[in-house]
Amino acid sequence: MTVRLILAKGREKSLLRRHPWVFSGAVARLEGKAQLGETIDVCDSNGKWLARAAYSPESQIRARVWSWQADESIDIAFFVRRFEQAQQWREWLAARDGLDSYRLIAGESDGLPGVTIDRFGNFLVMQLLSAGAEYQRAAIITALQHCFPGCAIYDRSDVAVRKKEGLALTQGTVTGELPPPLLPITEHGMKLLVDIQGGHKTGYYLDQRDSRLATRRYAQDARVLNCFSYTGGFAVSALMGGCKEVISVDTSQEALDVARQNVELNELDLSRAQFERDDVFKLLRRYRDSGEKFDLIIMDPPKFVENKSQLMGACRGYKDINMLAIQLLNPGGVLMTFSCSGLMATDLFQKIIADAALDAGREVQFIEQFRQAADHPVIASYPEGLYLKGFACRVM
Ligand code: SAH
């Protein structure tokens, strides 16, 4: 018999709207004993079946829903169905945009909470982030091999959030060959090197693909500052768009070394590209003090907010760097600015940019809006899935 999780009275509302999480505060009791990540049934306070879920005893998110169908078991065939459904959309997108790399599984939004899978050429890079995902590891791998027989699978579950779930960090080859130190991928006509084993996240920020493409339209003859450059995707795009010069800034020397190689790989003019290992917060101040000016600034910082208590501090951080960037722009210049913090709502982010403009003493017009690329969809029942947003602003 499957273990049953019984909700407290009146706490079934979000599940009836198909939100896939059960918070610890909504749980009345567990009928039976369940292991870390085991599949359980979630029922309302009257015992009515609501969903089949994975049990996370150590997390505030006590259960994550796998299925809303009472007759669906969570087995290899289940994962095959989910993978096939996700793959259909990515195949269409890959054909439309000429991609060889994309997010194949975007967790909750693809009906698989805690599962992230990125495809880079013929390598599948897997991140299992929840107790339930880890419990299903063998089924997930078998299903992936069934759906993608030609692909090697590499595990990058070396992410800190696993600790909240009571899981250790893991990394390494699962099946097939070891990924090369730098794998070339294709993105909107650019070639980019991806370090699957040692890079950030699964190796590359696929979610910014369309914003990097948009950069090209603002780059003609511009002097560009690319803040938080990582491996230089925005810089390569700006060079392809005909920029005069692009300075990429990051604290990671490894990332900047790859950025330089990416410029070379695309046979772009390396004399127009500079790479500065520095703290963006400090460098922006130095540039302000020395009177440097730019025509296009890209501001793509890492996540500043992990939980609600950090939101105020993050707002100050976003305002600070955006104010400095606005001050560094020539009249008519463009700021492309992003926030990948899920807890930062789009309208709050827009307000922060407006405040930054006020403090900078400059007029700003919002001219374009960005979000994560379409291989990172947002399922209607889980609006939290929209985490990356951005604006292009014209500074007067
Ligand atoms: N724009 C990149 C992704 C940026 S990810 C792309 O298109 O791929 C954020 C980057 O910020 C990381 O590479 C990280 O090394 C860098 N970083 C974090 N804090 C920093 C700081 N204070 N100054 C400069 N770089 C920083």
Cα–Cα distance between 371 and 211 in angstroms, integer? Answer: 8
Task: Give the model's confidence band at 305: pLDDT under 50 very low, under 70 low, under 90 confident, else very high.
Answer: confident
Measured in Å, residue 353 CA sits from the centre of ligand 1 at: 19
Cα–Cα distance between 62 and 77 in angstroms, integer? Answer: 25
Q: Which two tokens stand for residue 99?
A: 């991609």
Please tell me the class of the 2-65 domain: mainly beta
Measured in Å, residue 349 CA sits from the centre of ligand 1 at: 19
pLDDT digits (tens, 9 = 90+) for 172-186: 999 999 999 999 999
Task: Give the model's confidence band at 346: pLDDT under 50 very low, under 70 low, under 90 confident, else very high.
Answer: very high
Measured in Å, residue 228 CA sits from the centre of ligand 1 at: 3
Q: Which two tokens stand for residue 44?
A: 């309302």
At residue 158, the pLDDT reads 96
The amino acid present at 247, given as its one-letter code, is I
Where are the domains positioned within the chain? 2-65, 74-173, 204-393
Nearest atom, ligand 1, residue 340 CA: 5
Is 131 in contact with 56 (CB distance < 8 Å)? Answer: yes
pLDDT digits (tens, 9 = 90+) for 31-44: 999 999 999 999 99
Handedness of CA 282, 231, 338, 366 (dihedral sign): positive
Task: Give the model's confidence band at 330: pLDDT under 50 very low, under 70 low, under 90 confident, else very high.
Answer: very high
What Rg do the C-alpha atoms of the chain give, in angstroms? 22
DSSP class of residue 117? E
Closest CA to 322 of 306, 339, 307: 339
Q: Which two tokens stand for residue 175?
A: 């099946």
Nearest CA to ligand 1 atom 9: 302
Backbone angles phi, psi at 263, to 5 degrees: -65, -45
Backbone angles phi, psi at 239, to 5 degrees: -65, -40
Nearest CA to ligand 1 atom 13: 230
Task: Tell the CATH superfamily of the 204-393 domain.
Answer: Vaccinia Virus protein VP39 (3.40.50.150)
The share of the chain scoring above pLDDT 70, in percent, equals: 100
Q: How far is CA 292 from CA 132, 167, 223, 284, in A?
A: 51, 48, 10, 9
- Considering 147, 151, 340, 393, which one is annotated as catalytic? 340
Measured in Å, residue 89 CA sits from the centre of ligand 1 at: 29
**Higher-confidence position of 16 and 307:** 16
Identify the helix (H) or strand (E) that includes residue 285: helix 280-290
Task: Give the model's confidence band at 340: pLDDT under 50 very low, under 70 low, under 90 confident, else very high.
Answer: very high
Contacts of 121 (CB under 8 A, 6+ apart): 100, 101, 183, 185
- pLDDT of residue 306 exceeding 90, the answer is no
Q: Given its phi and psi angles, is residue 111 left (phi above 0), alpha (psi -120 to 50 degrees) or beta? A: left
Is 39 in contact with 52 (CB distance < 8 Å)? Answer: yes
Ligand 1: which of 226, 234, 250, 286 to mutate, most ligand atoms within 8 Å of CB?
250
Q: Which two tokens stand for residue 353?
A: 């940019």
Backbone angles phi, psi at 215, to 5 degrees: -55, -35
Ligand 1: which of 202, 210, 228, 372 to mutate, most ligand atoms within 8 Å of CB?
228
Nearest atom, ligand 1, residue 281 CA: 22
Ligand 1: which of 227, 246, 247, 251 to mutate, most ligand atoms within 8 Å of CB?
251
Cα–Cα distance between 263 and 268 in angstroms, integer? Answer: 6
The share of the chain scoring above pLDDT 90, in percent, equals: 97
DSSP class of residue 136? T
Measured in Å, residue 96 CA sits from the centre of ligand 1 at: 29
The amino acid present at 138, given as its one-letter code, is A
Is 340 catalytic? The answer is: yes
Residues with C-beta less than 6 Å from any ligand 1 atom: 205, 208, 212, 228-231, 233-234, 249-252, 255, 279-281, 300, 302
Measured in Å, residue 302 CA sits from the centre of ligand 1 at: 6
Cα–Cα distance between 215 and 268 in angstroms, integer? Answer: 16
Q: Which two tokens stand for residue 336?
A: 């492309």
pTM for the predicted model, two decimal places: 0.96
Q: Which two tokens stand for residue 230?
A: 């990582």
Q: Which two tokens stand for residue 84?
A: 């096939």
Q: How far is CA 98 from CA 227, 366, 375, in A?
A: 27, 30, 13
Please tell me the class of the 74-173 domain: alpha beta
